[in-house]
Amino acid sequence: MTSSTDRGPARHEAPRTSLFTDHYELTMLQASLHSGAAHRRAVFEVFARRLPDGRRYGVVAGTGRLLEGIVGFRFEDEELAFLERTGVVNRETLDFLADYRFSGDVWGYAEGEAYFPNSPVLIVESTFAEACILETYLLSVLNHDSAIASAASRMTIAANGRPCIEMGSRRTHEESAVAAARAAVVAGFASTSNLAAGLRYGLRTVGTAAHSFTLLHDSEREAFEAQVASMGPGTSLLVDTYDVEAAVRTAVDIAGSRLGAVRLDSGDLIGQAHWVRRLLDELGNVNTRIVVTSDLDEYAIAALAAAPVDSYGVGTSLVTGSGAPTASMVYKLVSRTDDDGVFVSVAKAAKNKQTVGGRKYALRQLGEDGLAIAEIVGVGQPPEGDGNDRPLLEQFVKDGELVPGWTGPEGVERARARHEASLAELPPAARRMHRGEPVIPTVYVES
């Protein structure tokens, strides 16, 4: 398969993010500027009350993207004019927004880290005014990207070392597709079909041809000849437009023993993989690989474990989170100062959506074998760990300035390494495909 990895100048424009915001955040801002409470210090926390049904762990993703977005969270003339002419907020609030620049602190789980129910995956501290209007944007990024990475992680486990290729762009929003490619690579995918993801994040992109290319030509042979002439014999030929056996023979006839791969995109993939492998070997093409790409999910990948398949292309199920398209994280005020400047823990009292108030700290408790035992969440102060326990909160923003290393292509590479290490540390049950409970419990330690 033709593949490319960008080693050139990366694209780091801060996206314009300030209107990825719900109307109510700006009206709350207005009312709290009016009451004066807007200037109280506030601690907001992002967490998920639960994992998607049956999942054993989740994967935090999107952190690098959201940090780039916080930098770009400014209200320019276009946004201000819109808010003014529609009357969303009053003049005092418009003036505040015109000068808006996040000046607080952000901590959180490193991108790629595993998370569990109630893990404090992101903590934002600033004035209420500054932190409250980031709610929707931060949640959008984390909920989407974490859902994709959580699904992708299970797929790479199922693939057990064989490369997975992300190719779901067409089945999701065009910008979600770019973020999904990025999240998939964080969770161990080898490459993506998405070119914008290649440009923005330096991801390896791959692809050769679709059925339309074969149908465009007067015969399959002419199509294969054109492709091999243009891309060389190392290309991947799609062999299921007409008759698979005839196509494999034609492909080998044209490209010879250096044919890179054949791709199967329909039918009984397990059966086909076996006889196509035998046929390729008989024809002398022992190094020609087999790529399969037909509506795969983690279960289909696992079912192909014993088949002679070399790589998996995954589309729809990846970009839709394989049944869990959102991570359902929430952004809750857990602490704020009173008139004396003293922090007070706060929480909604409603019984069916209970939240633990107070600033959180988190450790992953590890056993003597180095495997995780529990997620320890300290309320109000850092929990005491023993020597093995691993602190989970990293600082991403300090006094409004990004801490370097979390964004751009560098952030993706670090996240990928973090994901691999985090997964290696989980108990073996984390790698099971069937439904189960979170693989470690979350334990609150109150101060």
Find the binding residues for a copy of itself in span 113-142 (CB under 8 A).
Answer: 128, 132, 135-137, 139-141
The DSSP element (H or E) to which 199 belongs, if any, is helix 195-201
Does residue 40 belong to the site contacting a copy of itself (CB under 8 A)? Answer: yes
Q: Which of residues 181-240 bind a copy of itself (CB under 8 A)?
A: 193-196, 198-199, 205-213, 215-218, 222-223, 225-227, 229-231, 240
SS3 label, residue 249: helix
Q: Which of 110, 157, 177, 276 binds a copy of itself (CB under 8 A)?
A: 177
SS3 label, residue 395: strand
The DSSP element (H or E) to which 360 belongs, if any, is strand 360-366
Interface size with a copy of itself, residues (CB under 8 A): 118
Q: Would you give the binding string for a copy of itself spanning residues 135-174, x where CB under 8 A is met?
A: xxx-xxx-xxx---------------------x-xxxxxx
- Are 447 and 381 spatial neighbours (Cβ–Cβ below 8 Å)? yes
Please report how close the Cβ of residue 124 comes to a copy of itself at its closest, in angstroms: 12
Q: In terms of Cα–Cα distance, which of 222, 190, 216 is closest to 289?
A: 190
- Are 309 and 290 spatial neighbours (Cβ–Cβ below 8 Å)? yes
Question: Given the complex with a copy of itself, which of 214 and 422 has the nearer CB atom?
Answer: 214
- Amino acid in the structure at residue 152: A
The maximal CA–CA distance of the chain, rounded, in angstroms, is 82
Q: Which of 19, 283, 307, 374 binds a copy of itself (CB under 8 A)?
A: 19
The DSSP element (H or E) to which 79 belongs, if any, is helix 77-85
Question: Given the complex with a copy of itself, which of 143 and 311 has the nearer CB atom?
Answer: 143
Question: Given the complex with a copy of itself, which of 325 and 427 has the nearer CB atom?
Answer: 325
Please report how close the Cβ of residue 161 comes to a copy of itself at its closest, in angstroms: 23
Question: Given the complex with a copy of itself, which of 206 and 430 has the nearer CB atom?
Answer: 206
Q: Which of residues 253-282 bind a copy of itself (CB under 8 A)?
A: 265-267
Q: How far apart are CA 373 and CA 440, in angstroms?
A: 6
Q: Which of 63, 118, 150, 241 binds a copy of itself (CB under 8 A)?
A: 241
Please report how close the Cβ of residue 359 comes to a copy of itself at its closest, in angstroms: 14
Does residue 98 belong to the site contacting a copy of itself (CB under 8 A)? Answer: no
Does residue 179 belong to the site contacting a copy of itself (CB under 8 A)? Answer: yes
Q: How far apart are CA 422 and CA 415, in angstroms?
A: 10
Does residue 49 belong to the site contacting a copy of itself (CB under 8 A)? Answer: no
- Are 409 and 7 spatial neighbours (Cβ–Cβ below 8 Å)? no
| Residue 276: count of CB within 10 angstroms of its CB | 25
Burial of 404 (0-12, 13-18, 19+ CB in 10 A): exposed
Question: Given the complex with a copy of itself, which of 217 and 431 has the nearer CB atom?
Answer: 217
Q: How far apart are CA 311 and CA 301, in angstroms?
A: 10
Q: How far apart are CA 203 and CA 48, in angstroms?
A: 29
Does residue 410 belong to the site contacting a copy of itself (CB under 8 A)? Answer: no
Q: Which of 53, 350, 369, 386 binds a copy of itself (CB under 8 A)?
A: 350
Tokens 């050769």, located at residue: 208
Q: How far apart are CA 273 and CA 263, in angstroms?
A: 10
Does residue 75 belong to the site contacting a copy of itself (CB under 8 A)? Answer: no
Question: Given the complex with a copy of itself, which of 32 and 365 has the nearer CB atom?
Answer: 32
Q: Which stretch binds a copy of itself (CB under 8 A): 7-15, 100-108, 409-417, 429-437?
A: 7-15
What lies within 8 Å, CB to CB, of 167 at 6+ separation is 192, 193, 207, 293, 313, 314, 315
Q: Which of 51, 59, 67, 83 binds a copy of itself (CB under 8 A)?
A: 83
- Amino acid in the structure at residue 62: G
Q: Which stretch binds a copy of itself (CB under 8 A): 12-20, 100-108, 114-122, 369-377?
A: 12-20
